[in-house]
Structure 1
Amino acid sequence: MKTISFIGTGVMGASIVNHILQAGHSVTVHTRTKEKADELLSAGAKWAPTIADAVQDADVIFTMVGMPTDVEEIYFKEDGILANGTHGQVVVDMTTSSPALAKKIEKAAMDKGMSSLDAPVSGGDVGAKNGTLSIMCGGEETVFNRVQPIFALFGSQIVLQGPAGAGQHTKMSNQLAIATNMIGVCEALVYAEKAGLDPERVLQSISPGAAGSWSLSNLGPRMLAGNFEPGFYTKHFLKDLRIALDEANAMSLELPGLKLAIGLYEDLMAKGCGDKGTQVLFNYYQ
């Protein structure tokens, strides 16, 4: 059994911690607001009042926070992870962040005798609850092999994509595929409504066919029910798309679909929808 620390227990992090606890591992958690971790503490997790406390005695330290600036803060501030880490520990950042930051963390960790992986995930709140997340990893193979049994507790597709930063690049590819697909899902359902069809019946017909996608099957019904609560926050999705655009620009790659999606989600952010789920894009059309 490993001693694990988990920093950041939001929509997805909480479900991931539950899977790790159920496997019998000792888990210490830290989040900015302790009340958000109450259910995990009741389930057997231990509370760390500071990041420094969370890092002590952990074999593996997972982080899953909101923004790259949050990652910078928890890893590099004076009372952060790297300042308090010790030789042999492994840090695993599951935040969707920039490839350059993943490389920066790896170098700093190695200087401390620690190891690191960048391991963003896909599958949303449903995948986290069901333990079926897709986990995209960057880092050294020997480190990946050490952590893989823990990944298997909450992921069903776990792939080492390459060196540090490769997991984040893979997540950008994932977000690009979702971005334009979400536009297609919304437009398909709005079209069905305008044509006088029952959109739920339309979903029954098109979801199993060539148009099928995770977003269509899982978020389409939420759109029709008016359920825009977050499985994944709009503000975080827009952050991801902006990172993807920066990386594309650095590679001189023109991605018009990405730019369209960014414009639509920026409009939703301006309307106060940042804390809604990404399926709130449906409201743009309605």
Structure 2
Amino acid sequence: MKLNDLHIGFIGIGVMGKSMAKHLINAGATLHIYNRTKEKAMELIELGAKWYETPKELAPNCDVICTMVGYPADLEEVVFGENGFIQSAKPGTTLIDFTTSTPTLAKKIEEEAITRGMKSLDAPVSGGDLGAREAKLAIMVGGEKATFDEMIHIFNVLGQNIVYQGKSGSGQHVKMCNQIAIASGMLGVCEALAYSKAAGLDGEKVLSSISTGAAGSWSLSNLAPRVLKGDFEPGFYIKHFIKDMGIAIDEAEKMKLNLPGLLLAKSCYEELSKKGLDEKGTQALYMLYDPSHHVQ
């Protein structure tokens, strides 16, 4: 089915969800939306998206239902809650969850979808607000391969690096690998910036030298420049990163795997959380290293 023939539900109009939903509208899909705060969805409503008061009301009108919410508990609520969409979605509907959630919940959603004659994919993304705005997200997909193939035209509108990872829950496991790599990497990025400042170096020149060499990373290229500008606003919230690291630690424990770098990074971000910085971006980790940016 072509995008301009599809009725797509999109639940969760946040920092990334709004851009993703906008791309689907621009690609010709008819969009049906729900968000806890209607004000955040006004731009999409003005572009023609149809607003619903609950996920339950949204679902019967959709061929595909996408979710992009904050926490696994939020996902449970919009799927299985009193006003959740699973009870009213029609047979044949495909569910695509872009939330970073748990592999266990991904499997639970798939099992329930199958019993109701629906299909389900877990498809967490990486790339932050910039990747969402530019439709350059990395999308890691778990579920049935045939369902992935049917939905590839939707993924192509949202991202560039789209990889089918395997059975249900696999997408979430890969996203944990992504977050584990980022967690320790952000420690390195912030420590390098703090060191360069203490040494009296020009931060911009330092980045021009190290970002294209062996130290190069997405965080160094995209978030370090924000740090140098004193921009700690979220491309990805600290509160959500702490949630993701918690999921990864829980999953690692189940596999009897010790991840000391991840544990250290989570403890550092929890220090920022205690300072009331949950709503800042992950690059705000730098505040732990540079006294001039400390928030009491």
Give yes or no for TM over 0.5: yes
Question: Is 1:108 the counterpart of 2:101 in the alignment?
Answer: no
In the alignment of these two chains, the number of paired residues is 286
Which of the residues 82, 86, 89 maps onto 1:85?
Answer: 89
Equivalence for 2:189? 185
- Mapped partners of 1:187, 1:117: distance in 2: 38
- Mapped partners of 2:191, 2:126: distance in 1: 23
The correspondence of residues 28-107 of structure 1 with structure 2, limited to 5 A, is 28-107=32-111
- For the 8 Å contact 1:77–1:83, the answer to whether it is kept is no
Equivalence for 2:240? 236
Which of the residues 106, 120, 123 maps onto 1:119?
Answer: 123
- Mapped partners of 2:263, 2:79: distance in 1: 31
TM-score, normalisation: structure 1: 0.99
What's the CA shift string for 1:66-113, capped at 9, x where partnerless?
A: 000001111111321111112100111111000000000000111111
Equivalence for 1:256? 260
- Mapped partners of 2:33, 2:90: distance in 1: 18
- For the 8 Å contact 1:186–1:282, the answer to whether it is kept is yes
Which of the residues 126, 138, 145 maps onto 2:149?
Answer: 145
SS where residue 82 of structure 1 aligns?
coil
Which of the residues 143, 168, 179 maps onto 2:172?
Answer: 168
SS where residue 87 of structure 2 aligns?
helix
Question: Runs of 5+ in structure 2 lacking a partner?
Answer: 291-296
- For the 8 Å contact 1:115–1:143, the answer to whether it is kept is yes
Question: Runs of 5+ in structure 1 lacking a partner?
Answer: none
What's the CA shift string for 1:91-138, capped at 9, x where partnerless?
A: 111110000000000001111111100000000000000001000000
What's the CA shift string for 1:46-81, capped at 9, x where partnerless?
A: 111211121122010000000000011111113211
Equivalence for 1:26? 30
- Mapped partners of 2:232, 2:79: distance in 1: 32
Question: Is 1:267 the counterpart of 2:271 in the alignment?
Answer: yes
- For the 8 Å contact 2:91–2:116, the answer to whether it is kept is yes
Q: After superposing the two structures, state which structure 1 stretch, 49-58 or 234-243, moved more.
A: 49-58
Q: After superposing the two structures, state which structure 1 stretch, 123-132 or 75-84, moved more.
A: 75-84
- For the 8 Å contact 2:34–2:53, the answer to whether it is kept is yes
- Mapped partners of 1:112, 1:86: distance in 2: 8
Equivalence for 2:294? none
Q: After superposing the two structures, state which structure 1 stretch, 51-60 or 266-275, moved more.
A: 51-60
User: Where do 4+ consecutive residues of structure 1 move more than 4 Å?
Assistant: none
- For the 8 Å contact 1:207–1:216, the answer to whether it is kept is yes
C-alpha displacement at 1:231, in angstroms?
Answer: 0.4
Q: After superposing the two structures, state which structure 1 stretch, 34-43 or 168-177, moved more.
A: 34-43
- Mapped partners of 2:77, 2:39: distance in 1: 21
TM-score, normalisation: structure 2: 0.96
- Mapped partners of 1:79, 1:131: distance in 2: 31
Equivalence for 2:19? 15
- Mapped partners of 2:280, 2:88: distance in 1: 35
What amino acid is the match of 2:160? S
C-alpha displacement at 1:21, in angstroms?
Answer: 0.6
